[in-house]
Structure 1
Amino acid sequence: MKISVRNLEPTKVRLTITVDQEELNPHLDEARKSIANQINVPGFRKGHIPGKIVDQRVGYAAVVGEAINEAVPQFYNDAIEEKNLRPMDQPTLDLKDVPQAKDDGVKLKFTAEVEVRPQFELPALDGMTVEVAKPEVTEEDINARLEALQQRFGTLVSVDRPAAQGDYANISLEAVINDETVDSQDGVSYEIGAGNMLDGIDEALIGLSAGEKTTFKSKLAAGEHEGEEAEIKVTLNSVKEMQLPELDDDFAQDASEFDTLDELKEDIKKQAELDAEGRQANAARDAFLAQVVEGIEIPVPKGLLANHTDEHLRNIGKTAETATADEKKEAAESAEKELRDQILLDTLAETMDVQVSQSDVMNFLASVAQQYGMDPNNFINSIIQGGQLPSAVQEVARSKGMLTAMRQVTFKDPEGNVVDLSRFLGSDETDENQSVAAASAAAEVADEVANEAK
């Protein structure tokens, strides 16, 4: 087999593959066997028709046509492996020459255009030092967690006064465009100041009393008239405020397994410290990846970038035709970062010579199923039946590659103290037999780096 490679773009190649007759013959024999099971020839049992008779019966060109359906993808895969290319998408195949007669001297020739992972040199990891900020837990952090717990045990109580920031309002809304009601809702509950409803509604509600009405203008956030400015008529039906329990030992006993408020605060502090360490590990990962690619240009395949950008737009219910310029820009930037991260992680996995075992993949899938509250066996079966197992293998390889690479690096805080991240990175010994917990951590890291949202 003769293979020539032409670089069309930094991340796109065209392979021209010419196949010798001797290499094609085994595929022709398989094609003849397949055809023999489909035709009837007097004097021969189905499936036991000699190859020469098959050629005579259906024609040599038909046998070749049957053979290349299986042969061309295999020859393409062999060529990719021989030339050490890393495809990132399916190829576009184009047949150039196909033998039509047994002795016409024509060799099978085809081209394959495919976007490939760019090759670049990673810096030496051994001896690399990466700075990462200290995990800090302030009194404000502890108080915020305590207040959140306090909110969970609070009680909504009706009040006879004008609405204020933080109150819970029951409202009725009517949206009017050109004197026509385009949407209306009754009995909507809204926390004033939450910022998760129409722009301007907080200012409209503050100062109103139950039973009063007002109007304001705002752009509609959803529905048929999304993005259009409407006159919003709002009626304040009732106002409630959150009354919080006293922070004392009684509260600690009601809200936790602790007897005193001091014990509860100490436990909250410990949890906050653990969370801070987790944030530090995430910051270490980001700092590590940023330092690895510092000064390295990683080109992104144009076709894949366009497809991923469209996918990001679909996730927000838009297309290239309906999205705003800002939405398209944000989608393109997110897609480009996602692809660059994937390219980097794949290169790290290859450089680290990561090996993915069956147990790695099963643990990974089980952990994902657990995160989404699904039955692991059903989830794994659906992944296999849906043909998504290769993607799962790739995701595990990326995670293991990054963890393996990060274990070769020394992390230090701004004061020069070594930061121990072994709780998050594991060890070379334990990595070979990942537990579900370790796979779950790896899945979370890969998800944040490669997808930013799944």
Structure 2
Amino acid sequence: MKTNLEKLEKCQTKLSVVVEPEEWKNAQQKEFKKLADQTTVPGFRKGHAPENLVKSKVNHAEVLRRAADAMIDVAYKNAIKEHQLKPYYQPELNIVKMDDDQFEFDLTFIGAPTVKLGGYKDIEVKKDKVSVSDEDVQAKIDDLIQKNAELEIVEDDILESGNTAVIDFEGFIDGVPFEGGKAENFSLEIGSNTFVPGFEEQLIGMKSNEESDIKITFPQNYVENLSGKEATFKVKLHEIKRKVLPTLNDEFVKEVDIKDVNTVDELKEHFKKEIQERKENEASEKQLQELIQLISEKAEFEVSDKMIEEEAGYMIDNFKARVEQNGLKYEDYLKMTNTDETKLLQQAKDEAMKSLRQLFVLNEIGLVENITVSDEEVDEELKKMADLYHMNLDELKKNIKDRIGQFKNDLRNNKIVKFLKENNKLS
């Protein structure tokens, strides 16, 4: 087997392989023998029929395929061992020639880039100043009051904005019911804009036990089978409920049961500290990300297009999963939000490039500064986790054995970040 290794741009390495004719024949004969041993020829036990009889029953294309797989596997393992290649993905295979007499192929590997660091110490990054306004505190209090509101049934009244309507409804298009257009005892807050545009407004003024036909037109960017269509909803209003907000006083504060908070003034101070801490954390994280991005921009290296595409694809897949967890099809979400999929993919690629560059830069800093994580440090962190979840350490290790390597890498990244915080001017 003759091989030639060629360095390409953007972290790629091409291994060109020419299998010697004799080696190729031997590989075919070996795979033929394996298949022949599994082939039944009438009048003979498996593996004992004459070769000339077996040949007609063995698929020759399958022999070539299996022999090729064997040669590719040998070349791959030899390349990894001899050239210390550390591929990020399975190599890309290109068959150059393959017939009974010859087999030539290329394997293109993608590995980590060679990073040339710029400066990564004594960089000054200022943290945004944060403050907490009375409006910030009041918004938290208002939210708490809303969460503790109660609904009371309103008798002999008409439905108003802000009320909650308990309704049955069924939607029809051209007189035919459509899927997902029917519900019973459905609670709908009027003015929440959670229903089809125009629906809630037409309920205003109805009385309990009253029935009505509501006509709407679905938006053009709605789900595909309903987009732009006119529909009629037959609605029955069962009950009207009015939101009753609790009074903000010391008694209410005690009822919500926040530790060491018993008065309105203490509640305001509690929320002020909570908001201040959140804003400080956000400002610190933003400052750290700015530092890492500055260091990343100073470094010189290229990231493989395939890496960017793979990472962007992973981001899009995660985004799709989150959309579908909320009960929407991805395609419907794009339509409803007027989102251009091409632009979304480009944004993902831009974010992937940024993320990968930072990842490789942090790793290189770790290598240069000899930042490592020992098995003892891993055990120490796992022990904390085990204690937190009331688990035995060995039991926890068994449960996450496939993720120990990633866990160790995360700890190393945390140490690298700590090093950067200590060696730069973050003020």
Report TM bin, short chain.
0.5 to 0.7
Gaps of 5+ in 2: 38-63
1:401, distance to aligned residue in structure 2 (A) = 3.5
Preserved contact between residue 131 and residue 287 of structure 1 (Cα < 8 Å):
no
Are residues 1:283 and 2:294 paired? no
1:174 to 2:191 alignment: no
Q: Output the CA distance in 2 between the equivalents of 1:198 and 1:367.
A: 49
- CA deviation after TM superposition for structure 1 residue 121, in Å: 3.9
Q: Which residue of 2 aligns with 1:225?
A: 225
- The alpha carbon displacement at 1:117 in A equals 4.2
2:244 equivalent in structure 1 = 243
Q: 1:155 to 1:128 in 2, by over 3 A?
A: same
Asked whether the 8 Å contact 2:303–2:357 carries over to 1, the reply is: no
Structure 1: 5+ residue runs without aligned partners? 39-60, 101-105, 412-417, 419-454
Measured in 1, the distance between the counterparts of 2:188 and 2:380 equals: 42
Counterparts of 2:223 and 2:360, CA distance in 1? 41
Measure how far apart 1:128 and its partner are: 0.7
For residues 94-109 of structure 1, the aligned pairs below 5 Å read none
Change (3 A) 1:197 1:389: farther
Which secondary structure state, in structure 2, belongs to the residue aligned with residue 352 of structure 1? Answer: helix
Asked whether the 8 Å contact 2:165–2:239 carries over to 1, the reply is yes
Q: Is the 8 A contact 2:118 2:298 kept in 1?
A: no
The 1:95–1:328 alpha-carbon spacing in structure 2 relative to 1, beyond 3 Å, is closer
Q: Distance in 2 between matches of 1:261 and 1:327?
A: 49
Tell me which residue corresponds to 2:196: 198
Larger Rg: 2
1:238–1:94 Cα change, 3 Å: same
What is the match of residue 139 of structure 2?
144
* Superposed displacement of residue 276, structure 1: 1.6
Range moving further from structure 2, 252-261 or 214-223: 214-223
Higher relative contact order (CA closer than 8 Å, sequence separation 6+) = 2
Task: From the superposition, tell whether residues 336 and 176 of structure 1 become closer, same or farther in structure 2 (CA, over 3 Å).
Answer: farther
How many angstroms apart in 2 are the aligned matches of 1:138 and 1:219?
A: 39
2:423 to 395, 399, 408: 408
1: distance between equivalents of 2:239 and 2:347?
A: 44
Asked if 1 retains the 8 angstrom alpha-carbon contact of 2:253 and 2:263, the reply is: yes
- What is the rounded CA distance, in whole Å, between the counterparts of 2:105 and 2:389 in structure 1? 45
1:301 alignment counterpart:
305
Question: Does residue 130 of structure 1 match 2:125?
Answer: yes
Corresponding pairs, count: 366
Q: Tell me the distance in 1 between the aligned counterparts of 2:150 and 2:361.
A: 54
Tell me the SS of whatever aligns to 1:125.
coil
Is contact 1:252–1:264 with CA below 8 Å preserved after alignment?
Answer: yes
Whether the 8 Å CA contact 1:300–1:340 is kept in 2: the answer is no
Letter paired with 1:158: I
Percent of pairs identical after alignment? 20
Letter in 2 for 1:138: S
Structure 2: distance between partners of 1:255 and 1:181? 45
- Alignment partner, residue 186 of structure 1: 184
Distance 2:293 2:232 in 1: 47
Aligned match of 1:327: 341
**Conservation of the 8 A alpha-carbon contact between 2:162 and 2:242:** yes
- Counterpart contact for 1:126–1:408, Cα < 8 Å: yes
Aligned equivalents of 2:392 and 2:220: distance in 1?
40
Alpha-carbon separation, structure 2, partners of 1:321 and 1:200: 20
Shift of 1:208: 4.4
Residue type of the partner of 1:282? Answer: E
| TM-score, length of structure 1 as denominator length | 0.62
The alignment's TM-score, normalised by the length of structure 2, stands at 0.66
Aligned alpha-carbon RMSD (Å): 5.0
Instruction: Determine if the alignment matches structure 1 residue 113 to structure 2 residue 108.
Output: yes
Shift of 1:311: 2.6
Contact 2:157 2:207 (C-alpha < 8 Å) held by counterparts = yes
Q: Is the 8 A contact 2:151 2:243 kept in 1?
A: yes
